Amino acid sequence: MGEKMKVAIIGGTGDQGIGLALRFLISGEEVFIGSRDIKKAENTVETIKEILKEDKVDNLTAMTNQDASSQGDIVVLTVPLQAQVATLTTIKANLENKIMVDATVPLDSCLSGSSIRYVDLWEGSAAERSAEMLKDKNVSVVSAFNNISSGALIKIEEDVECDCLISGDDSKAKEMTMELAEKIPGVRAIDCGALENARIVEKITPLLINLNIRNKSRKVGIRVTQI
């Protein structure tokens, strides 16, 4: 489906970044794993190669966050809340005229609290905070991948039975993000409207984490019916 994309995953050494990288590589995209620490990025690339058994890894490169953000056509931010502002500050110069997909969720666990409690942000959502930080760089900020479990992504032998709820103010950027999301088997992308709706979508994640805990699972997802 569609053309091959260059996808930079910023903070790509965590479970969510690894899971997305695996799925995008399998679908044929070119992936850049970004990290503050190049050694950590290189170790993550080796982990991914072991999972894929050397298949489809020619399109995988370890880089610093700054270098990865300069290479990607679509830049996916997968850092925890407490690293969001600092990370964007280091890469914002490389994001001009690009699509930046924010998968950040404001969880209380990022502040040494509970992983099933949402933290309200002054801007309304993590994605809106990114948009505020990047407003002078002509960046199209899209909220996506917040509700897809890393456990489901990493289990590559199975389809990901989850919808991807996508919010953004730039229609073209949303279309490209939806196309990327639907390259993951089992995922259906849902256009949730303007970026301000990310404040609703992000709040679903702590509920899903709670359901994972209660049901001793790592793959709980969400489906929207009748559309």
170 in Cβ contact with 38 (< 8 Å): no
Per-domain residue ranges for the chain? 6-214
User: CA quadruple 67, 30, 125, 15: dihedral positive or negative?
Assistant: negative
For residue 111, the model assigns a pLDDT of 59
Q: Which fold has domain 6-214?
A: Rossmann fold (3.40.50)
Check pLDDT > 70 for residue 108: no
Residue-wise pLDDT tens digits, 12-36: 999 999 999 999 999 999 999 999 9
Helix ranges, the chain (H): 15-26, 38-52, 65-71, 81-91, 126-133, 150-154, 171-181, 198-201, 204-214
Could you give the C-alpha distances from 173 to 137, 147, 163, 165, in angstroms and in order?
Answer: 15, 19, 18, 14
Query: Which residues are within 8 A (CB) of 50 and not within 5 positions of it... i.e. 6 or more apart?
Result: none
Q: State pTM to two decimals.
A: 0.93
Confidence category of residue 122, pLDDT binned at 50, 70, 90? confident
